[in-house]
Amino acid sequence: MKGAGTRESAVVLLPAFALQLLCKSRDWWGAPVALVAEASPDAPLLAITREARRAGLRPGLRQGPARNLVPGLRTGVVRHEDREAVLGELVAALQTFSPRVARWAPAHPSGEGAEGSFRLDPTGLGGLYGGERNWAETVHRYLRGRGFRATVGVGFHAASLHAAALAAGRPVQVSASEEAEREAAADVQLRALGVPERLCAPLERLGVMTLGELLALPHGELTQRFGAEASALHDAYAAPGSPGARGGQLPLQPAELVAPRRIAEELDPPSAHLDRLLFAAKRGLDPLLAELSEAGETARSLLVELQLESASGAGEPRELVLEPAEATLDAGTWLELLRLKLARLALPRPVERLVLEAEAAPAEGTQLEVASGEAPPRDVAAAGRALARLRASLGADAVLAPTVASAHLPEARSRWRPTREVKRPGEVAAEGPVPLQRRFLRPRAVGNARDGGPRLPGSEGAVVLRGPQRVSGGWWGFAPPDDERGDAREVGRDYYYAETASGGLHLVYYDVARDRWFTQGAVD
């Protein structure tokens, strides 16, 4: 039971989180750096480092002029997914210091802009770490070790602690008393709290610059004039007992402890035999897939870790990734893919432990078409499964699909690209009728020098050439000519249909730059 007056809140603040990430990922610490939302020269600087500020830059300035002013300025974008990935990792890491961790920023009731700010429950942890300050310092050391600049605060009320920690700007901030915490919080500028500009600016016009001044406004009148957002902000920081106050003690909504869908099977004695490995996998797969099914999920991919027997005792892992055509809970499909993978694998030592880790995906309603009797005559799913087996057997890039491209050169018009899915015929874009040709993937040389003509199979006699059609271009891939007469290395081809004495019809071209003849294919 938590008593009044106990320090039951903790916050971790990573100021300018995205900028920190940028500097960290590019090793730009100590340089003038600015975070931008996009690469456009008109994009405003969202956050800048101290060095950039010293050089005279300010957030809000556009990237183009800023780079003009400070030629050494480095700018970069941090993608949302990258930020989210790191934030997710940080939550998981902080969960090792407190079981209850949430991403949280009281100045953003709507939840926006909460990145880099965490609320933790430190209850009882002081005893483990030799005091709350020690706990906070440990957390701070950890974050510093990961290359982050952070403030860790421990205090009484999460919201006021958050503000007080911001104001203090020290690595570790432990509130001496509730009153001191509130006083420190009251002096914090609304802007420093990260209150959105749309709310901050009109409040500043009224002379309401600090949290204390905001809290002094009558709650009802504030709500009437500035709406729900201002009301929520007021509520978040208001002292317990005041109108609308949540006392900064909103129940913490901790991030779920995500245990990986993972299961391990021991092989005793260790074995490299395929069947034994598959049986072991089957033993693990059944409960793993059942667990997913119970959670309304399915498996998108499966990581199979084979820990090999080792004299040192620490198994040497080998990892296999299984990816079916579509997410499935069918153990047979997974085992078939695993069998194909294992069959290609030469294991130096027996496997002593097998770990299965599933990547889950929400289960969707399937087979509706079958239920309605409107299933298409071609079973695309089956084709997908077959391809998945091929990939598992021959490698991830083993399955290629032809794609049509807009290009003048015949060999550039169709390309083979790795694919994971099978499309119905109607889904493939076509560009008009394709001449009936047997086309070579790469042109084949069939003669030197223009005058010599092409030497084609069965062309002991004269070859009749019809054409030419001329294809030239690609100049931009080469250095421009000094005399503006065309670069000899540009593509320049004269295409002909060549009729041989034996009646064969070939598509040939004379390559101007190489002074050679090539054949591109034949007409059936």
Partner 1 sequence: MSKSDDWVPLWCKSHYSFREGASSPEELVGRAAERGFRALALTDRVGLYGMVRAHVAAKAAGLKLLHGAELAMLPSSAASREVPLGPAPIAASEAARVVVLARNARGYAGLCRVLTAAHARGDKGEAWTHPEDLDALAGDAFVLATSTEGLARLRPVMPRESLRALVARQRAPGEAPAERALRALAADAGVDCVAGREVLYHQRARRPLQDVLTCVRHGVPLTAAGRLLRPNDEHDLLDPGAFRSLFEDDPRAVARTAEIADACDFDLGALRYVYPSERLPAGESEESWLRHLAFRGAARRYPEGLPDDVRAQLERELAVIEDLAYGGYFLTMHEIVEHCAAEGILAQGRGSAANSAVCFCLGITAIDPVRMDLLFERFLSRERAEPPDIDLDIEHERREEVIQHVYARYGRRHSAMVANAIRYRPRSAVREVGKVLGLTATDLDGLARLVRHRDDALDASVLRDAGLDPAAPVHRHLLRLSGMLLDTPRHLGIHPGGFLLGHLPVDELVPVEPATMEGRTVIQWDKYDVEALGLFKVDLLGLGALTCIRKAFGLIEEAGGPALSIATVPQEDPETYAMCSRGDTVGVFQIESRAQMAMLPRMKPRTFYDLVIEVAIVRPGPIQGDMVHPYLRRRHGEEPVVVPHPKLAEVLAKTLGVPIFQEQVMKLAVVAAGYTPGEADQLRRDMAAWRSQGKIEQHRERMLRRMVDGGIPADFAERVFSQIRGFGEYGFPESHAASFALLAYVTSWLKCHHPAAFTCALLNAQPMGFYSPATIIEAAKRRRVDVLPIDVRRSGWESTLEATGPGDGPRAVRIGLGMVKGFGVQERDAMASWEQPMEGLEDLVRRSGFDEGALLALAEAGALEGFGVNRRDALWRLRGLVRAKGDALALGDTSQLSFPSLGEEEAVLWDYRASGHSTRGHPLGRFRAALEAQRMPDARRLNALEDGARVRFVGQVICRQRPQTASGVNFYTLEDETGLVNLVLWKQVAARHRTVAKTAVFLGVAGRIQRAHGVVHLVAERLFAGSEVLETAPAAQSRGLVETARELGRRSRDFH
Residues 6+ away with beta carbon under 8 Å from 359 = 261, 299, 300, 301, 302, 303
Which CB atom, from 458 or from 481, has the smaller least distance to partner 1? 481
Which CB atom, from 146 or from 225, has the smaller least distance to partner 1? 225
In the complex, minimum distance from the CB of residue 307 to partner 1, in angstroms, rounded to a whole number = 46
Q: Which residue from 29, 34, 37 is spatially nearest to 59, judged by alpha carbons?
A: 34
In the complex, minimum distance from the CB of residue 200 to partner 1, in angstroms, rounded to a whole number = 10
Residues 6+ away with beta carbon under 8 Å from 446 = 454, 455, 456, 508, 517, 518, 519
In the complex, minimum distance from the CB of residue 27 to partner 1, in angstroms, rounded to a whole number = 20
Please say whether the beta carbons of 354 and 304 come within 8 A: yes
In the complex, minimum distance from the CB of residue 477 to partner 1, in angstroms, rounded to a whole number = 8
Which CB atom, from 156 or from 495, has the smaller least distance to partner 1? 495
Which CB atom, from 295 or from 405, has the smaller least distance to partner 1? 405
Please say whether the beta carbons of 309 and 381 come within 8 A: no
Please say whether the beta carbons of 386 and 341 come within 8 A: no
Q: How far apart are the first and last CA of the chain?
A: 87
The set of long-range contacts for 105-108, using a CB threshold of 8 Å and a minimum separation of 24, is 105/162, 105/194, 106/158, 106/159, 106/162, 106/163, 106/193, 106/233, 106/236, 106/237, 106/248, 107/190, 107/193, 107/194, 107/195, 107/196, 107/233, 107/236, 108/194, 108/196
Q: What is the DSSP letter of 427?
A: G
Residues that bind partner 1 (CB under 8 A): 39-41, 55-58, 61, 63-65, 67-71, 75, 202, 204-207, 209, 217-218, 221, 224-226, 405-408, 467-473, 475-480, 484-486, 494-495
Which CB atom, from 384 or from 468, has the smaller least distance to partner 1? 468
Which CB atom, from 213 or from 359, has the smaller least distance to partner 1? 213
In the complex, minimum distance from the CB of residue 35 to partner 1, in angstroms, rounded to a whole number = 14
Residues facing residue 328 across a β-bridge: 299
In the complex, minimum distance from the CB of residue 38 to partner 1, in angstroms, rounded to a whole number = 9
In the complex, minimum distance from the CB of residue 241 to partner 1, in angstroms, rounded to a whole number = 21
In the complex, minimum distance from the CB of residue 474 to partner 1, in angstroms, rounded to a whole number = 9
Please say whether the beta carbons of 253 and 247 come within 8 A: no
In the complex, minimum distance from the CB of residue 73 to partner 1, in angstroms, rounded to a whole number = 11
Which CB atom, from 156 or from 509, has the smaller least distance to partner 1? 509
Which CB atom, from 350 or from 468, has the smaller least distance to partner 1? 468
Which CB atom, from 18 or from 57, has the smaller least distance to partner 1? 57
Residues facing residue 47 across a β-bridge: 35
What proportions of the chain, in percent to the nearest 5, are helix, strand and coil? 35, 25, 40
